Amino acid sequence: MNTEIINDLEWRYATKKFDATKKISSRDLNTLLDVLRYTPSSYGMQPLKFLVITNSELRIKLQNASFNQAQVTEASHLIVICAHLETSANHIDEMTELMSTIRSIDIDKLKGFNNYVKSALKDLSTQEMLLWNSKQAYIALGMFLSACARLRIDSTPMEGFEPDKYDELLGLHQQGLTAILACPIGYRSEEDHYSKLKKVRKPLNTLVQFIE
């Protein structure tokens, strides 16, 4: 067993109280943003946008839209993971062009891939498309939480907010986006008794089944 990985995961917890005086270095922040960038997504469509919010007035308003959870204002940075409202044919074309450029592949050779993605998504309703895009946001969250733990940066995965209010405060709909997850990051306060609690996890043998 790789104990380093497990130590990271035991170290992290959903932080309830941050030390508001401690700030994340720009080096660490850049590493974490790159982790978000490297997140895999279905067909590589990356239907996501990541907001890094430091503006204190805005964060007070966002805290009000987050059932008053103090992490939103006390953490060093607030990350909001947004999904595109839809994955349009235009977006699929843009991503295909990006692939063509980065891998130096003639765009005509990617026509099959482009059509395949378009046909896979064409029958999805607006709601189904948003759900598909949102699933990609959760992958980003998982990668992000692990990377934070590696850097000994505390984090709180958060669904506990009113997405409509976030969308309005952040002007997201105008950009074709909606807020899916929030994740305050920073350093735990000594007073956060949650940091001392044992992890509640099902035993491995009830969680994992081997099929040989």
Ligand X SMILES: Cc1cc2nc3c(=O)[nH]c(=O)nc-3n(C[C@H](O)[C@H](O)[C@H](O)COP(=O)(O)O)c2cc1C
- Of the listed pieces 43-51, 75-83, 113-121, 150-158, which binds ligand X according to CB under 6 A? 150-158
**96-128: burial string, b at 16+ Cβ within 10 Å, e else:** beeebeeeeeeeeebeebbeebeeebeeeeeee
Nearer Cβ to ligand X (117/149): 149
From 196, 206, 179, 207, select the one nearest 13 (Cα to Cα).
196
- Of the listed pieces 8-16, 25-33, 72-80, 115-123, which binds ligand X according to CB under 6 A? 8-16
Rg (CA), the chain: 19
For position 136 contacting ligand X by CB under 6 A, the verdict is no
Count residues binding ligand X (CB under 6 A). 10
- Of the listed pieces 52-60, 110-118, 155-163, 170-178, which binds ligand X according to CB under 6 A? 155-163
How many other CB atoms are there within 10 angstroms of residue 131's CB atom? 12
Helices (H) and strands (E) in the chain, counts: 9, 4
| Residue closest to ligand X (Cβ) | 160
CB of 63 to ligand X, least distance (A): 12
Give dist(CA 96, CA 114) in Å, integer.
6
For position 157 contacting ligand X by CB under 6 A, the verdict is yes
- How far CA 126 is from CA of 27, 54, 62, 205, in Å, comes to 38, 32, 26, 39
Nearer Cβ to ligand X (95/132): 132
- Of the listed pieces 48-56, 57-65, 126-134, 152-160, which binds ligand X according to CB under 6 A? 152-160
CB of 65 to ligand X, least distance (A): 12
According to DSSP, the β-strands at 48-53 and 77-84 are antiparallel
In the complex, the residues that contact ligand X under the rule CB under 6 A are 13-14, 16, 69, 156-160, 199
